[in-house]
Amino acid sequence: MSNTYSISVETGGYRQLDLFAERCGEGNAVVTVADGNGVAIAAHTMPIAERRHHFSIAVPQKSTVTVAASGLVVRFGYLSECDDLLDNGVRYVNMNPSDTDWPAQPTLEQIYNRFGRSGAHFEPFARWMNDPNGLCQFQGRYHLFFQLNPYGFGWDNMHWGHAVSRDLVHWTHLPVFLEPQPELHTDERIVGGAFSGSAVTVDEHDNPVAGNEANAIRLYLTRHLETRGDESSVTEYQTTCLCEDGVHVRVESPVALRANDDFGYDFRDPKVECGMGGEALDPDRAYMVTATNLPVSEFGADAADSAVPGISTQNTGGWFTYSPQGKPGVDQPNNATVPAMTLFSAKKPLKRNVTWRYEGPVLADFGHQIARTYECPDLFQVDGVTVAVGALMHYRDKQGRFQQVRWYAGDLVNTDNGPKLDVKASDWCDFGTGYYATQSFADDNGRRIVFGWFTDFPEMRVEQPCLANGMMSLPRELHVRDGRLYSKPVSEVYRELLGERLAVHGDGGDMVVTAPGNAYYANVHLADDADAIMVLAKGVNPQDGRPTELLLQRTDGVTRLVAKGTAVEDVDFDSGITDVRQVEVFFDRNVVEVFLNGGQTAGSMLFQGADGDGELRIASSGKIDAVDARALNGIWR
């Protein structure tokens, strides 16, 4: 690769070029911009101490400019700052010199409508994405912030990406919202950045209000610093910042530190709720739940056998491991601690300097005590029930599933040691794999909506130009029915994404549906509990070329997903429910989401389907009442 390379960029209505660049030599690292006549407009040099830098360069509108890079590689870029940015979004600029087969400014259709990328699920233009953050509805738009590494295809120092939508389906990409602490760009030994958090919409006085009445978004997040390879060096604390225009952010302020030395080094992912009711909570206060682990001794000698408020004891028979393929007994857990959700509260209004008071642990999971900690905790009320949700880090259940997200439903009660969740029922949020780091929010219509991040435990992702490593789930609406947490896609998914009806060939127990573009929706009603197999998709493993097959099968009353030829083919994806009579399948090129019995449970995972058209095959030894199949439309515009 030459030390200097250049591209031509049409600026259109944009006034700024944003480039995330990495130094690749010992000398100066410089970006220059020239107009169509070759006259220099700007020259920007990376600070000598930095190994990475975000360049924000003013450019003339409606012009052709030449952008040249010397001594650095631009990993991610876009045009920003235009009129009506919330509607128009940013324009992706591909300045990676190794992407020679791709244009400098690919269209949305070119980015989205290609093999290796989903069509109806949100992904960034490129690079790594993880947890959904800051979900809210604000002034007519839904805001989705997310963890982003613009420098590579794997996890690294964390930024916040940002997108908005008016219908939860079609998304507009916005500028990177938050960046890592400056020292992370200068010292390779330090990792961390802007970790996950949540949002509250507020009025001009910082009082929590509905999004359509709000003047700003108040965001909460974790700042993380760690010396690479030394977990004892971890520092995590919670901060807040304000966004008034839906795009830009004001300065951050710390709001919560570890309450005492008993807290684990993991102390992160603040989720703030302002509408929690019930006698256990003060209506004049907002409540923040955070993830950590606490000493087992804090809960008493018999805590693991106690069905008391604040403790869950249901066990799924798993083991501690650092790896999705980790075997029992190889990695040793810290038996002295237990995953816990800790509660803080603050009196409204939510000024940046308001004091957050520690209320104690609201939930500790002794049934999964060997897990390292929770990640992305959530505590909310829906249908008159209090629900906690959290991902169990470094844990495989007895079926082999890694780092599943668990829900706990019950009542929030007052105790001498603060509010506690009295757990009545508990189960996994998703019986597949990779549905992780969920976050919910209440929209202006009172719906409780959740997004999850799909991580690649099945090993389906391979780095290529304009492909991302990470994807959001379809937005799901949550309800509690008969003590169980239900989830299924929001109504907008059905309205906006379901296309033309697809022909169903065959009758009785054998049916075939051809799916143009290998993206489809199917609603299958089974008349009895006979054995049935649905071949949802076939493909080729991108890692080793093996043929793959994704199945949903019901055998002897057990309904499960099976992913043959993948890294998770030996995992038992048992749905955990019986008497399955309705199956809804959303297969979107390289991801599947399945909903059973109207959302009684859901199962999903990444799976790379074949290029071109796909096929759904159903074979049943019993009667199939009905199959409604539709094309699944893409979200690019």
Domain boundary among 80, 106, 132: 106
Residues 427 and 321 in one domain: yes
Question: What average pLDDT does range 555-567 have in this prediction?
Answer: 97
Answer yes or no: is 235 within a domain. Answer: no
Residues 513 and 425 in one domain: no
Q: What pLDDT is recorded for position 306?
A: 78
pLDDT digits (tens, 9 = 90+) for 384-419: 999 999 999 999 999 999 999 999 999 999 999 999
Residues 13 and 91 in one domain: yes
CB 47 within 8 A of CB 63: no
Distance from C-alpha of 201 to C-alpha of 391, rounded to nearest angstrom = 25
Answer yes or no: is 98 within a domain. Answer: yes
Distance from C-alpha of 475 to C-alpha of 441, rounded to nearest angstrom = 11
Distance from C-alpha of 468 to C-alpha of 452, rounded to nearest angstrom = 16
- Main-chain dihedrals φ then ψ at residue 418, nearest 5 degrees: 100, 180
pLDDT digits (tens, 9 = 90+) for 485-525: 999 999 999 999 999 999 999 987 899 999 999 999 999 99
Q: Is the pLDDT of residue 190 over 90?
A: yes
Distance from C-alpha of 528 to C-alpha of 624, rounded to nearest angstrom = 8
Answer yes or no: is 295 within a domain. Answer: yes
Residues 294 and 402 in one domain: yes
Burial 551-575 (b: 16+ CB within 10 A, else e): bbebeeeebbbbbebbbbeebebeb
Q: Is the pLDDT of residue 231 over 90?
A: no
Amino acid (1-letter code) at residue 191? V
Q: What pLDDT is recorded for position 25?
A: 86
Answer yes or no: is 525 within a domain. Answer: yes
Residues 317 and 403 in one domain: yes
Residues 410 and 533 in one domain: no
Answer yes or no: is 133 within a domain. Answer: no
Q: What pLDDT is recorded for position 60?
A: 96
Domain boundary among 433, 455, 482: 433
Domain boundary among 433, 449, 468: 433
Distance from C-alpha of 612 to C-alpha of 514, rounded to nearest angstrom = 11
Give the residue from 420, 284, 415 showing the smallest Cα distance to 354.
Answer: 284
pLDDT digits (tens, 9 = 90+) for 329-366: 999 999 999 999 999 999 999 999 999 999 999 999 99
pLDDT digits (tens, 9 = 90+) for 10-30: 999 999 999 999 999 888 999
Q: How many domains are contained in the chain?
A: 3
Confidence of residue 304 (pLDDT cuts 50, 70, 90): confident
Tokens of 455: 């991580």
Confidence of residue 101 (pLDDT cuts 50, 70, 90): confident
Residues 501 and 614 in one domain: yes
Distance from C-alpha of 279 to C-alpha of 425, rounded to nearest angstrom = 21
CB 339 within 8 A of CB 290: no
| Position with higher pLDDT, 615 vs 231 | 615
Query: Is the sign of the CA dihedral 615, 517, 501, 141 positive or negative?
Result: positive
pLDDT digits (tens, 9 = 90+) for 583-592: 999 999 999 9
Collapsing DSSP states into helix, strand and coil, what is residue 542?
A: coil
Residues 283 and 410 in one domain: yes
Burial 228-240 (b: 16+ CB within 10 A, else e): eeeeeebebbbbb
Distance from C-alpha of 95 to C-alpha of 585, rounded to nearest angstrom = 38
Q: What are the CA-CA distances from residue 411 to residues 340, 420, 471, 489 (Å)?
A: 17, 8, 33, 26
pLDDT digits (tens, 9 = 90+) for 239-282: 999 999 999 999 899 999 999 999 999 999 999 999 887 888 99
Instruction: Give the end-to-end CA distance of the chain in Å, rounded to a whole number.
Output: 35
Arithmetic mean of pLDDT over the chain: 95
Tokens of 247: 């795009």
Query: Is the sign of the CA dihedral 17, 18, 24, 30 positive or negative?
Result: positive
**DSSP tally for the chain: helices H, then strands E:** 3, 46
Percentages helix, strand, coil for the chain (3-state, rounded to 5) are: 5, 50, 45
Question: What average pLDDT does range 50-54 have in this prediction?
Answer: 97
Question: What average pLDDT does range 313-326 have in this prediction?
Answer: 96
pLDDT digits (tens, 9 = 90+) for 426-471: 999 999 999 999 999 999 999 999 999 999 999 999 999 999 999 9
Domain CATH for 626: 2.60.120.560
Q: What pLDDT is recorded for position 1?
A: 41
Answer yes or no: is 461 within a domain. Answer: no
Answer yes or no: is 240 within a domain. Answer: no
Question: What average pLDDT does range 599-616 have in this prediction?
Answer: 97
Spatial CB neighbours of 545, under 8 Å, sequence gap ≥ 6:
none
Residues 533 and 411 in one domain: no
Residues 516 and 626 in one domain: yes
Q: What is the DSSP letter of 515?
A: E
Q: What pLDDT is recorded for position 394?
A: 98
CB 305 within 8 A of CB 313: yes
Find the domain containing 75 and state its range: 4-106
Domain CATH for 82: 2.60.290
Distance from C-alpha of 275 to C-alpha of 443, rounded to nearest angstrom = 12
Residues 290 and 428 in one domain: yes
Question: What average pLDDT does range 372-382 have in this prediction?
Answer: 98
pTM of structure: 0.97
pLDDT digits (tens, 9 = 90+) for 193-216: 999 999 999 999 999 999 999 999
Answer yes or no: is 176 within a domain. Answer: no
CB 512 within 8 A of CB 498: no
Residues 498 and 429 in one domain: no
Beta strands in 475-607 (DSSP E): 476-481, 484-489, 498-501, 504-507, 510-515, 519-526, 532-540, 547-555, 558-564, 573-574, 582-588, 591-596, 601-606
Residue 494 host element (H or E):
helix 491-497
Q: What pLDDT is recorded for position 39?
A: 92
Give the residue from 374, 400, 389 showing the smallest Cα distance to 427.
Answer: 389
